[in-house]
Amino acid sequence: MSLPAVVPAPASIEAGSGAPFRLTSATSVSGDADAAAALAATLTARTGLTPAAPSTGSGTDESAGIELRIAAGGAPESYRITVDEASIVVTGADAAGLFYGVQTLGQLVARDGGDWVVPAVAIEDAPRFAYRGVMLDVARHFHGVDTVKGYIDRASSLKLNALHLHLTDDQGWRIQLASRPELTEKASGTAIGGDPGGFYTKDDYREIVEYAASRHMIVVPEVDMPGHTHAVGLAYPELAEDPVISDHMREIVDVYGGGALPEPGVPFEALAVGFSSLKIHDEATYDFVADVFGELAAMTPGPYLHFGGDESLATADDDFAYFVTRVSALIADLGKTPVAWHEAGSAKDVADTTIGQYWGYVTPQEGFAAKAQTFVDNGASLILSPADAIYLDMKYPSGPELGLTWANGPTSVQDAYSWEPADVVPGVGDEGILGVEAPLWTETIRTAADIDTMVFPRVAAAAEAGWSPRTGESDLRTWESFRARVGALGPLWTSMGIGFHPSEEIPWVTE
Ligand code: TNX
């Protein structure tokens, strides 16, 4: 008997031999109220049925029921599901585990003629890695609160638990701070290619954080520095060095357009990188950094503050190391865990608790693995975002015109899937890996529909790398299994309003 399709692949799944559970308008849901609400939303979208509240009083409920409960004791975020003809029981070790069990249950719902069934099955499941993220760049193009909430719904349905917001870059500053109001007043109005800018008010940010928490996701805010800071100079010219314009940069601006070469005090609307730097040897810079991260720490319940550190090509190596050392220490002193792109590992004295985010290729380029290794040697760990696998802004081999190609050319769904986290940075196994994150840079990504088409289905590959057993340890962890399971999710994704890219690599099921 074939197994029902679950993505990311669960740790263990066994098909039952009995008849399926039949969903009807009389099916009742009992137990945890938050999980019941999450289930009702999925079931209604997928089937049109509205589950009944359990009948109280008599104690003998005739209608077959779904029970959602939390029973402490298992691994964090773990859950079990048993389905037979008479009942469905979902048990989470904690609220997140129960939420993930509900997401799995949503995937199990299947059409049977005009009816809806859940096949008899027993699943036991727990994540491989604690951190499973997506990143959204809201600096190159701004994406409003509703789009972000939609992204949270989509990501959490695949058991992803971190939303990294790339809040600032050369093209704009997108988060309001009371300590530095000029940032959004003077540096948020524009985006790439003359598109409109925007920013989150403090209330907007709170709303995003709360919405994410209701889907068991943390928000990881990133303020990128010392490079990627042209926008800071629009608000505080005294903190910014003049742009350093390389031949490479001229070429990028020529080829991609979008706007002119950067000039001090003028918003930058093209898509080149690596020309801006904060002033490293000016104490005013560190007053600024203290204000920014101090306020963000107070606004952010999650443990991480990301300070960027990538592509600081206009900052001298020694200055970069000095800056990274100071800023990582400042964030650690705020009681938060610093996160930085792997370049920060070139600073030997980066704060010991700093998590490195690796964005090299699946097979590391020269020098990249050594920088990533620094964080592991310090006793901290890595978030893996291999660019030629799970950079969701890379073009598809065939599909929409959106996206870039610098990471080893276009990225197929199979490329996104075919890598093993413990085989990326030599010598760094599961103990040195905090998790996996799929970034979406938005130079070419302007709308919620653009996000959907670039993200789905490839984000499912990242989710499986982060959640599922390692390659070789489960029959399900193969490309052939994955493409079939993803194909089976087409109708569910459509019911959720996800405008996925109908990649020809996937055997999409239609109803
Ligand atoms: C590299 S990889 C960047 C971003 C760009 C992206 C485009 C990394 C940490 N930085 O600044 O948006 O490429 O794919």
DSSP letters, 387-403, are HHHH-TTBPPSSS-S-S
Residue 428, token pair as written in the block: 């760094």
Q: Residue 93: helix, strand or coil by DSSP?
A: coil
Q: Is the CB of 311 under 6 A from ligand 1?
A: yes
Q: Is the CB of 404 under 6 A from ligand 1?
A: yes
Would the pTM of this model clear 0.85, i.e. be above it? yes
Which numbered atom of ligand 1 lies nearest the CA of 387? 2
Distance 98 CA to ligand 1 centre (A): 35
Pairing label, strands 131-137, 162-166: parallel
Catalytic residue among 124, 185, 295, 311: 311
Residue 227, token pair as written in the block: 């490079």
Residue nearest ligand 1's atom 2 by CA: 359
Which numbered atom of ligand 1 lies nearest the CA of 308? 9
pLDDT tens sequence across 456-485:
999 999 999 999 999 999 999 999 999 999
311 counts as catalytic: yes
CA nearest neighbour of 135 among 339, 368, 371, 375: 339
pLDDT tens sequence across 56-87:
554 445 567 999 999 999 999 999 999 999 99
Distance 255 CA to ligand 1 centre (A): 17
User: Which of 249, 441, 442, 444 best tests ligand 1's pocket when mutated (most atoms within 8 Å of CB)?
Assistant: 441
The interaxial angle of helices 95-108 and 33-47, nearest 10 deg, is 20
Residue nearest ligand 1's atom 8 by CA: 310
Q: Residue 360: helix, strand or coil by DSSP?
A: coil
Helix (H) or strand (E) holding 121: strand 121-125
Which numbered atom of ligand 1 lies nearest the CA of 441? 12
Block residue for tokens 């996925």: 500
Q: Is the CB of 275 under 6 A from ligand 1?
A: no
Residues of the chain with CATH 3.20.20.80: 131-472
The answer to whether 66 touches 47, Cβ cutoff 8 Å, is: no
Which numbered atom of ligand 1 lies nearest the CA of 407? 14
Distance 441 CA to ligand 1 centre (A): 7
Residues of the chain with CATH 3.30.379.10: 12-125
Mention the CATH class of domain 12-125.
alpha beta
Peptide bond into 8 cis (omega under 30): yes
pLDDT tens for the chain, 511 residues: list them: 579 999 999 999 999 999 999 999 999 999 999 999 999 999 999 999 998 877 655 444 556 799 999 999 999 999 999 999 999 999 999 999 999 999 999 999 999 999 999 999 999 999 999 999 999 999 999 999 999 999 999 999 999 999 999 999 999 999 999 999 999 999 999 999 999 999 999 999 999 999 999 999 999 999 999 999 999 999 999 999 999 999 999 999 999 988 999 999 999 999 999 999 999 999 999 999 999 999 999 999 999 999 999 999 999 999 999 999 999 999 999 999 999 999 999 999 999 999 999 999 999 999 999 999 999 999 999 999 999 999 999 999 998 999 999 999 999 999 999 999 999 999 999 999 999 999 999 999 999 999 999 999 999 999 999 999 999 999 999 999 999 999 999 999 999 999 999 999 999 999 8
CATH architecture of the domain with residue range 131-472: Alpha-Beta Barrel (3.20)
- The set of long-range contacts for 243-246, using a CB threshold of 8 Å and a minimum separation of 24, is 243/275, 243/276, 243/314, 244/275, 244/276, 244/277, 244/313, 244/314, 245/275, 246/274, 246/275, 246/313
Q: Is the CB of 441 under 6 A from ligand 1?
A: yes
3-state secondary structure 174-199: CECCCCCCHHHHHHCCECHHHCECCC
Number of Cβ atoms within 10 Å of the Cβ of 506: 22
User: Which of 311, 361, 405 best tests ligand 1's pocket when mutated (most atoms within 8 Å of CB)?
Assistant: 311
User: Distance between CA 59 and CA 54 in Å, rounded?
Assistant: 10
Q: Residue 410: helix, strand or coil by DSSP?
A: coil
Q: Is the CB of 393 under 6 A from ligand 1?
A: yes
Distance 93 CA to ligand 1 centre (A): 37
Q: Is the CB of 205 under 6 A from ligand 1?
A: no
Q: Residue 90: helix, strand or coil by DSSP?
A: strand
Residue nearest ligand 1's atom 14 by CA: 441
